[in-house]
Structure formats: structure tokens, C-alpha cells
Amino acid sequence: MTTLHLPPDAAPAAPDDLSVWPASAARASGGGLSVAGVALTEIAERFGTPAYVLDEREIRERCRRYRRAFPDADVLYAAKAFLCRAVVRWIDEEGLGLDVCSAGELELAVTAGFPPERITLHGNAKSPHDLDAALRLGVGRVVIDSASEIARLAAAIGPRGTQRVMVRITPGIAAGAHEKIRTGTDDQKFGLSLTDGSAQHAIARILAQPQLELTGPHCHLGSQITSVKPYLAAVRRMVGLIARVRDTHGVVLPELDMGGGHGVAYRPGEAALDLGALADRMRTELAGSCAAARLPVPRLTVEPGRAVVGPAGVALYRVLAVKRTDERVFVAVDGGMSDNPRPALYGVRYAPRLIGRRSSAPPGRVTVVGRHCEAGDVLAADVDLPADVRAGDLLGVPVAGAYHLSMASGYNLVGRPPVVAVADAHARLLVRRESLDDVRARDVGL
């Protein structure tokens, strides 16, 4: 794998750059490309397009990298990045825990055999159904995210039971690639603020509830963070909070959950968070801050989502039309914002690639758009594809494993794409394409 170190908006990389593709991606003759030994053209023929491909080994290897980097910590995979039963099994087999934020994610995981004690339930607004499912199935931890949840949870547990809980803190740190995915700052919907004292107040109330066993603070700064520094600042603030809880209540909290948000490169040359540096520097910071506060080092938890599945996924689309206006060339494909809302939501940039046809045409600037009835349905603006790109061509979009299908919608009743796993030169269907029958089955009134 080649790794380029260019600033984010440097000159476009060579069209043949595979640095953000799964490690198993390999060029084949005639412009072909395979992942885990399976030709992407074959997947498109067998399963149709659009289709999502997941490289099983890439996901497993990324889990192992986390466990090697954080041998003394708990690593929880953030299910909201993408979840299906096969992913549940891979995460379980690789020894990670799971972070879920709804009864749906929780029940899918548990019914696929995931041990509930290794699951943490999140959510800024947990429904009664979410809390009931968590208590009924016996999740390891519930992360309290609002003052009103404390009494609700205690009442749901009843007089005799107990539940381990954490408390979500907004440490007052701005990090993350876009305002919509920054969650560490004050004045947004997640967590309880340190600055205005609501975190300290909630902790006092939790400690007063005999049913709730508070194990420690949780914070999640945001998503697509590529620098280690905000995590270190957050560790210092969390240790400061643990010290204050000891001083005020005489309780030493044994755990600290630092959330996820670890950034990946979507295009060649973009920065990714350095996992080894994050682990080393977080460990050092935690040990140093705890020594200074004369605290034992709490057990650390991290919660990567995107960094586990994002780079293992590839989206495949068929070009349906090419339209040249005075200003642009629009390349319209058979998917779009219903399977990948990220460009429209946060302006994310991708690097699509022509697959399965050798073109000798020079690169041309195009805008890849979807098929949905909205002008903002753009998948990749101002990217280079061979200038002779035409209807019938196959395009592959790398780094499509996270926050695509988990955010997919039913817009225009196009039907959500299938998910195909590839491993050892073999492709197998994990999730089938959504059909009109699926849509009709839910449409029960007239």
C-alpha cells in the first residue's frame, strides 16, 4: 500500500492510487480491480448495482490493531457506523465490545449472539423501549445523558436491582471535521456540561441512587478527528472531574470512557488519526494526570466506529447518464443520497474510480451525482475520471463502510442496496437488496 502525505486539498492524486482502498485491493488486467481476491465487476454482475462490498479481513485486522494498540483498555465498536449480524459476529470473535444507541441495535446484536454484558447503551434521548430492552437483556453499562434519565432509569430498575452506569460529559472541547459531528463542545444536545456544573450535579444525584452503580465518566468529542491533541486535553479534564468526585463524595471512579471519533482518509493524501500515537499519548497523559491527582489509573475504554469499518467498505455504482453543460460534466449513477447522505449532510469528499474498463482518455473534471430528485444529490463534486466516462461504466467509491447504509433512507423508493462480504476470493451476500415487496409489506393501510 502506498501512503502519500499531501495536505487535504493538494493536487488530485494519480487516478491509479489505491492508498485509501482496502489493503487487499489489487489491480487486474483490463482496468479491473479486485478486493479480497474477488473482481468488483463480478460482484456488480452477480448482485447488481448499487451494491456495498465489505472486506471481512480488513475489518478483523482493524479490530486487532485496536486491541494491540490498547492492550489494557476495552475497545467497543460503535454500532451506528454499520451493523448487521455478520459484523456482530466478527466484532465478537475479535474480542471487542459494542456501543449501541437504540433498542434496535441492541436487540440485533444480542439476537445474533453478542454477550450483553459487553454492550454499552448510549443515547441523548433514550425511549422507554430502549431502557426496557437494556434492562431486560442485561447490558453492561448505560450511559446517562440527561438529568431526567436518572430517576427514570432508577424507577425502571425497581427497588432491588442494580445497573452499572456511566455519565456522559461534554468537556468543552471543539474537535471534529464539521459542526454537525462535533459533540465535545458545550451548548449542543449531547451530554452534561462541566462548565455550567450540570455534570457535577448529575453525578451527585446518581451517587444518591442505590440502584445505580456509577463506574465513571464518558466523553465523545465528535467524529473524523485527525489530531491526538483534543483527546489529551479531554483526558486531563476527565481526570480533573474524577479527582473532584473523590474530593466531594469520597468515591474513586474506576473507569473512563473516551469515546471514538478517530478520523480516516477518504481521499489519497488526506490525514488519518495515528492510532499508535493516540494510544501511547493517551496512556501517558492518563498516567501523568492520575499521578498528579494521586488517583489510581482508571480502566480506559475507547469506542471507534468509522475507523473499524469505513475503509473496509466499497460502494459500487453503474453510470446511467453523462450530461455535459457549459460548466460541468455530470456523471449520474444508480444510487446517491439514499445510500450515502454524507456529502449532502457534511460536504464530505470522495475519490471514485472507474472499474473494469481500461481507458486511454486523459482525466477530465466531473461531478458524480445520484439519481434522486434533489439537486443536492451529489456524491463527488469536481473529481477526475477518464474523460470518456459513459453510461454503462462501473464506478467504485472507497471508504464506504461507515455511515452510508446505516444512514440510508427510503427516498424515492429506490430500495436500499445489498451488502456483500468478500474474503478469501469468495463473495457472500450479508444483506439483500430492499425490494418493492419489502416496501409494500410495511404499507398496510388503504
Contact 407, 334 (CB under 8 A): no
348 binding ligand PLP? (CB under 6 A) = no
Taking the complex as a whole, how short is the minimal distance between the CB of residue 355 and ligand PLP, in angstroms? 27
Taking the complex as a whole, how short is the minimal distance between the CB of residue 224 and ligand PLP, in angstroms? 6
Instruction: Give Cβ neighbours of residue 150 (< 8 Å, ≥ 6 apart).
Output: 144, 202, 205, 206, 209, 212
Interacting span for ligand PLP (CB under 6 A) from 28-36, 206-214, 238-246, 298-306: 298-306
303 binding ligand PLP? (CB under 6 A) = yes
Half-sphere exposure of 322 (CA within 13 A, CB side): 16
Taking the complex as a whole, how short is the minimal distance between the CB of residue 404 and ligand PLP, in angstroms? 12
Parallel, antiparallel or unpaired: strands 313-324 and 329-333: antiparallel
Which residue among 305, 311, 313, 417 contacts ligand PLP (CB under 6 A)?
A: 305
> Which residue's CB is nearer to ligand PLP, number 39 or number 79?
79
CA angle 112, 113, 118 (to 5 degrees): 115
Q: Nearest residue by C-beta to ligand PLP?
A: 305
Query: CA 17 to CA 427: how far, in whole Å?
Result: 24
Which residue among 262, 283, 371, 404 contacts ligand PLP (CB under 6 A)?
A: 262
Residue type, 283: R
Which residue among 31, 259, 356, 417 contacts ligand PLP (CB under 6 A)?
A: 259
Which residue among 55, 58, 94, 99 contacts ligand PLP (CB under 6 A)?
A: 99
Give the H/E segment covering residue 150. helix 147-157
373 is known as an active-site residue: yes
> Which residue's CB is nearer to ligand PLP, number 170 or number 223?
223
Query: CA 255 to CA 2: how far, in whole Å?
Result: 39
Asked if the peptide bond before residue 71 counts as cis, ω within 30 degrees of 0, the response is no
57 binding ligand PLP? (CB under 6 A) = no
78 binding ligand PLP? (CB under 6 A) = yes
Site for ligand PLP, residues 306 to 325, rule: CB under 6 A: 306-307
Q: For residue 3, which phi and psi values (nearest 5 degrees)?
A: -125, 120
342 binding ligand PLP? (CB under 6 A) = no
Binding residues for ligand PLP, rule CB under 6 A, total 16
Which residue among 62, 80, 118, 126 contacts ligand PLP (CB under 6 A)?
A: 80
From 233, 224, 238, 268, select the one nearest 402 (Cα to Cα): 224
Query: In the 8-state DSSP scheme, what is residue 259?
Result: -
The one catalytic residue among 101, 219, 290, 373? 373
Query: CA 142 to CA 138: how far, in whole Å?
Result: 10
Give the H/E segment covering residue 200. helix 198-207
Spell out, one character per residue from 104 to 143, where the chain touches ligand PLP: x when CB under 6 A holds, - when not: ------------------x---------------------
Which residue among 268, 304, 313, 341 contacts ligand PLP (CB under 6 A)?
A: 304
Burial class (CB in 10 A: 0-12, 13-18, 19+), 59: buried
CA distances from 162 to 56, 100, 281, 286, 401 (A): 38, 20, 35, 29, 37
Taking the complex as a whole, how short is the minimal distance between the CB of residue 124 and ligand PLP, in angstroms? 9
Site for ligand PLP, residues 210 to 239, rule: CB under 6 A: 220, 223
Q: Which residues bind ligand PLP (CB under 6 A)?
A: 78, 80-81, 99, 122, 220, 223, 259-262, 303-307
Q: Which residues does the annotation mark as catalytic?
A: 373
